[in-house]
Structure 1
């Protein structure tokens, strides 16, 4: 059975049981600050489990794209080494929100597996929660009794809290679960060892395929459990593992979920993959093939994760979710580089196969195929350059280590490294700063006869993680509920001031922000951060006090207002007042963002799509797909286009709660990676119409003026424009006027400032040329004097001297002195404008025959002037901070040839 059919049968089955089939949410979460990625099937339904929203149907089924590479659920380091862990995977799920419970969930799971998919019952085992007296949670007798009617009791396993009690997090909904495991081993192996003994013991062919979670409890901040007002079902079945079971394979990678990608990778690299049913012996050839298999598994898994993340709007970057995506991709590149001999970008060539394979069910990967390909290709090229630089740095470090060993007794810098062990801190720096993997460093060092201090590396890694964890540590109290039920609404589209009551509040403590309170209001005018727009600020006032609202965010469908203090009387009636100036500036920038989007699509082409935005009171940032630099002329046209619509005084046409399909049919633009409900809000200014929940001006005239301040690349095929409007433009022009005034005053108020600047530049260029001539003459005059000071030591013509020249003059002098003959070793020092500089020249025959290296010389001597540098083996320079160290550096230079 093909994977597409397996997925369809699951959805068809639950549709026949009255479930609404919904699409997968984006893999990248934009409206849940507690999660970086969608890491489970239930993530998009959290608000329903928490009672903060009402689902479209009490019964829902779907297949959800999931990514587990950070936080509590992190499978990254397992991927490739076994045959069943993945970074990105599909989670087939059926959900009940206060509707059916254990009986239906268990019976339908059994029916689908054994009657529809026809998995032999004798291959299945199930587990039931054994209870936990310490937390006053009983044995799940109900689930046991249901399973007894379907399967022999000797196939039912009691599971502990780790395996059979599921929790959303440290706090929140949780409950016992009942897992279903399948035994895919050959019959001969089953006869020797019972599958029951292998459940939850990491056997690659005895794996969990389905988990039925029964949400019965709420975990409170103190760790205690309370019953939920309604019982829910949350189930998840690993699609890739199900395909393995139904296609008669013993590895997920041998199913048609992965085989098209593997075949393409074999074609690209020339390396062949060995399927799991081929038994490898313990020969050297087997060891090499196993490395190849691991590398191929890593690459075909990781390309799926990276491609879907980019298609959903998350570009690789150096921070947050973008850094995680970059790490995944770099892990794949590194495995190809090390084990498949790939020295050119190749992973991007797999995107077409992936799009053809999964595009029918996940259209985003097909529509964003070109962008995904380009971004991955550019990331590959960049990291391959980093790998080359890393290898160069490692080799340079080894050479300097060898030099240190030779010079230790004279320079007194460090102890001799007799064991040929590289510092773990150095290896960690390569890993942390340059993304250079530890095992690749170890491989290169091994080839050079070196090892590294593994304990030192792990210590540096632990310290970094500890710092990172400490910086992000947060503790959250339970909600104090003042008003029961979902009474909270947002009224901020129409009001900036409103009478409100607090419905709930809680305290949070974080290392970053200290103690804060989150307050929820019944009818809030405060806009929560979302759609790129920052959250509102303002105040809450009562008869006796004023509370400052520092920020507003949305979490699990609740609008949270952040404050430093809690009101003395939380039951009082308050006046909520949004900071109208900040709101007005944000609205101006947000509406300008829509006009900018329209301008770019009109001037550059309809291939332009929004890929990210930030709307703050101070400026707007807009990321968009485009495969070339935007020219000055095009930027001018874009600016003019937006300003013309501002001058046209286009009124805001806002439509709330219209059906999504109707809005799109009428021309509203929906953005990839955004999650839209059945009803949406459409914003229209003239011909610009977009689905948007943000705050906007009533008329484009309120924007006053639009000014682009920068344009540049973010990633391959992604450009970024930053711009200002209204108050920002006024401040910009004021600043420009002040700058021009200062320039005029500096030029003695000429009639034509531009002409005066050109004249000054010409005069400066002439003086610079004259200075260069003088410096060269000075260097020539010095050449004769210094030639007399050259000493011959061990057959080397040696000179170490401070000269009164510029750095460029010292370079010219060094090359002039080099013409005096062979075997020349020169170290010249300068101190122009009190900035010490060392210049080293070594004749090429000394480099070749005696192993001297100018780069290593200046790196060691540079320590005396509190600096460093480098260059080629025959010529290098080093700059520093301490002029007083020049004398010592020149004294020590002779030690290199003694």
Structure 2
């Protein structure tokens, strides 16, 4: 039971036998938690349970949680590859109690698992407790039989955990494993505690208090338990090794890296193989959870990780994309425990290929600049921040990659100088946008929201409503009145107009009052909940406080609703046809068309696209009701609702369901369920028809489909039908036979082009009266020369003709001029025995000059 997969299963099975609900790992992108970039601990998915904001049907749980620490205060990136235990990705085993058991059971569960299930020697274990936690110290004595010298009291924050400045908190008890006297280090709390002999393997957090304020802490009525044990660390202990990179999982990945590069992991290249193995894991899991490389946010952290691995692959001799070839090994090792790796393997593979290909184009030039800039520098010196920023800005080198490249030489980077250069560029960028008016308006919108509150949206139930004008903004400034055909932004207390968000365009329509008519050209959401109507005063004088009747453009809203509902059907269809790795990456829902961007590694086959369209129209024909419900976000996701990557949701979310699945696991259930705040049709039949116009690439690993619905789709298809009928009439066949007739004509044209090409070749290679090449050539100063001016022959064909002529001559010079329309091309060939005397490039330049052109590049024997 010492393999990583066996240890993970044994942990979850043990706690399941002890009344815990074994749960799947939550995604690496935390749902609904803007305070975290990545999930970095097992308790993240239970945060709202611990704080009392959410309840679960169980009071005990156990998980093996995927974690990433590569950004913010939890940033292990710089150390990965150079230490025994630093990782960007790791698994945290944890058991949790939500007001059920407390310290006694938590300690008993942990001790029994370690000493009986895992059979660790008791004399190898010691623990720490918070300095005044007498209860925990007493329990360790009684349950584990530990002596006082193996229960170490720690007075620092290392042994007291809190969720934040306020909220649940409590003392910790950490379990350490002694790797033996031959390894340097002292027990926790000693002067040598930073050594590697005593390694923490499990942390038990006793959540028994609530921090009310900086000076006030009260007891919780129902104390809870949160524990975390690093799977890689405990695997090292159980496998009898001291270094996490020596466990079976990493040994497999590192062996694959050795085989791929042909470079041993022993000696000077040890760190590079470790970096590759670790970063492969974090990158693949992030991509599987919906993160793609980009220049901001989570995508930028992923890019930093990937590029660091790529540089180390380059150090091992890689000259082309190679990391993707290690993915099958990772999937084989971890895919059973994490099926999302299997589902996303194609996307991950293509993402790695594209990112490596892009970075390799600039890597050599960036490294050359770094070498020049650091030449002559010694250990302890600093590379200028300006140079580091140039590497970042021009060559795509993240700062930590530059630091990593200089690490072996002991050279540091002027980080403050780098930040100054970055800030200077941002300031210049902001200055270039000055005068746009929007920056000034932002302050205005937040000021209005603080004063008036968020706008109440009525548009789910009505397209017409009475409202009061709360604020008017003209040219970025609040005003009291607006008149005379002026463009104005209007804020009211309530509105049926949808504000642009979630890819759906804002509503248009009219506002009317006593002698007032206003045309609304767009509606937007500003300042997180303020609906701003971009409008023009067509008649009258509009004042703050005026009562108005608001009417949405009904026809436009209907078309937008149909297009928005169609994006949901296409999303689900794409997941059915291409795989569940498909995730929405963006959308645009307009009245006349829709656009849907999604993760997928390669172009979609025509047959696949047709199947997606068929599935969507199958649900349209059901004319099934489209239902909306307000639910707790976790309940919605538990029911299968799709949450969009990167979206922030409130405690309560709107869940839109449509259609009935007719087969598969979801048979009889809703075909599509998504969290969505947009407007939708009442029944799927209202969409009318869905027709996909095109499929294309947006960026690395992201594809786009564009489509039409309803009358627009019908009109487009009628136009296509009319075109086909005109084509058929021209071909004098029926529309059904037109494709075959066109294919026959195309093939006939190809045949004629081939025959024409052969005729031109014969003419070029023979004299006016026909004959062999040698006979057509003439002697010039003892050298055979063949020259021709060929009408209707371009540069591409000239080269092959010159090659054949050279072969026919055996020894000589060939010069052909091709004339196509008003363009002339010159190609010269020199046989190998004459290249010492004649240079084809020089001859082309001379010939081109004579006809008023200029020669290009080439080789001595062909140009």
**Both structures adopt the same fold (TM-score exceeding 0.5):** yes
Is residue 2:167 matched to residue 1:167?
A: no
Within the alignment, does 1:143 sit opposite 2:119 as a pair?
no
SS across alignment from 2:86? coil
Cα offset for 1:155? 1.2
Q: 1:459 aligns with which of 414, 417, 433?
A: 417
Task: Report deviation, 1:388.
Answer: 2.6
CA 1:315 to 1:166, structure 2 compared with 1: closer, same or farther past 3 Å? Answer: same
CA-to-aligned-CA distance 1:621-647 (integer Å, 9 cap, x gap) = 53345554468x889969986996798
User: CA offset at residue 609 of structure 1?
Assistant: 5.3
Distance 1:178 1:305, change over 3 A: same
* Rounded Cα–Cα distance in structure 2 between residues aligned with 1:656 and 1:65: 31
Work out the CA distance in 2 between the residues paired with 1:529 and 1:204.
55
Aligned counterparts, 1:755-774, within 5 A: none
1:587 shift after superposition: 4.9
Summarize deviations over 1:354-374 as a string: whole Å, max 9, x none.
Answer: 111111111111222222122
Aligned to 1:265: 257
Offset at 1:580? 11
Aligned partner of 2:674 among 692, 707, 716: 692
Note if 1:158 corresponds to 2:153: yes
Distance 1:468 1:238 in 2: 40
Structure 2: distance between partners of 1:25 and 1:300:
23
Matched, 1:651 2:652: no
**Structure 2 contact 656–674 (Cα < 8 Å) conserved:** yes
CA distance in 1, matches of 2:625, 2:170: 48
Counterpart of 2:226 in structure 1 is: 234
Correspondence for 1:825:
none
| CA drift at 1:246 | 0.8
Q: What's the secondary structure of 2:152's corresponding residue? A: strand
Does 1:248 find its partner at 2:240?
yes
Q: Is the 8 A contact 1:646 1:704 kept in 2?
A: no
Secondary structure at the aligned position of 2:347 is classed as: helix
CA gap 1:494/1:640 in 2 versus in 1, 3 angstroms: closer
Deviation, structure 1 residue 36? 2.0
**Equivalent pair of 1:216/1:228 in contact (CA under 8 Å):** yes
Deviations 1:85-144 (A, max 9, x none): 1111111010100111111111211111112212122221211112xxxxxxxx222212
SS of alignment partner, residue 42 of structure 1: helix
Bigger mean CA offset, 233-242 vs 699-708: 699-708
How many residues get paired?
603
Task: Measure the CA separation in 2 of the matches of 1:464 and 1:727.
Answer: 51
In 2, are the aligned partners of 1:96 and 1:234 still within 8 Å (CA)?
yes
Q: What is the CA deviation profile of residues 733-759 of structure 1, one whole-angstrom value per residue up to 9, with x for unaligned ones?
A: xxxxxxxxxxxxxxxxxxxxxxxxxxx
Distance in 2 between residues matched to 1:445 and 1:80, nearest whole Å = 15
Structure 1 pair 370–629 and aligned structure 2 pair: CA distance change class (3 A): closer
Q: For residue 597 of structure 2, what is the aligned residue in structure 1? A: 623
Shift of 1:50: 1.6
Gaps in structure 2 of 5+ consecutive residues? 431-455, 464-495, 508-522, 533-549, 663-669, 717-856, 858-863
What's 1:592 paired with?
566
Unaligned runs of 5+ in 1: 131-138, 275-288, 403-419, 472-489, 498-524, 538-548, 554-559, 565-576, 733-871, 873-898
CA contact (8 A) 2:335 2:342 kept: yes
Q: Give yes or no for the alignment of 1:320 onto 2:297.
A: yes
* Aligned residue in 2 for 1:435: 396
Equivalent-residue separation in structure 2 for 1:550 and 1:85 (angstroms) = 46
Larger Rg: 2
Equivalent-residue separation in structure 1 for 2:388 and 2:251 (angstroms): 36
SS of the aligned residue for 1:195 comes to coil
Preserved contact between residue 58 and residue 97 of structure 1 (Cα < 8 Å): yes
Q: How large is the RMSD of aligned CA atoms in angstroms?
A: 5.4
Distance of 2:248 and 2:302 partners within structure 1: 25
- Assess, with a 3 A threshold, how the Cα gap between structure 1 residues 493 and 141 changes in structure 2: closer, same or farther: farther
Distance 1:38 1:639, change over 3 A: closer
1:718 pairs with 2:679 = no
CA offsets per residue over residues 590-617 of structure 1, 9 Å max, x none?
4111232366579xx5458522244576
Is residue 606 of structure 2 the alignment partner of residue 611 of structure 1?
no
Structure 1 position 452, deviation (Å): 8.8
The answer for the alignment partner of 1:510 in structure 2 is none
Per the TM alignment, residue 468 of structure 1 is displaced from its structure 2 partner at its CA by 9.7
SS of 1:257's equivalent?
helix
Q: What CA distance in whole angstroms lies between the structure 2 residues aligned with 1:440 and 1:48?
A: 39
Q: Which residue of 1 aligns with 2:363?
A: 387
Alpha carbons 1:171, 1:218 under 8 Å: kept: yes
1:53, CA displacement in angstroms? 1.2
Equivalent in 314, 317, 341 of residue 341 of structure 1: 317
Task: Name the CA distance, whole Å, in 2 between partners of 1:183 and 1:535.
Answer: 62
Q: Contact 1:612–1:623 (CA<8 Å) still a contact in 2?
A: yes
Q: Secondary structure at the match of 2:199?
A: strand
Bigger Cα displacement from structure 2, 32-41 vs 706-715: 706-715
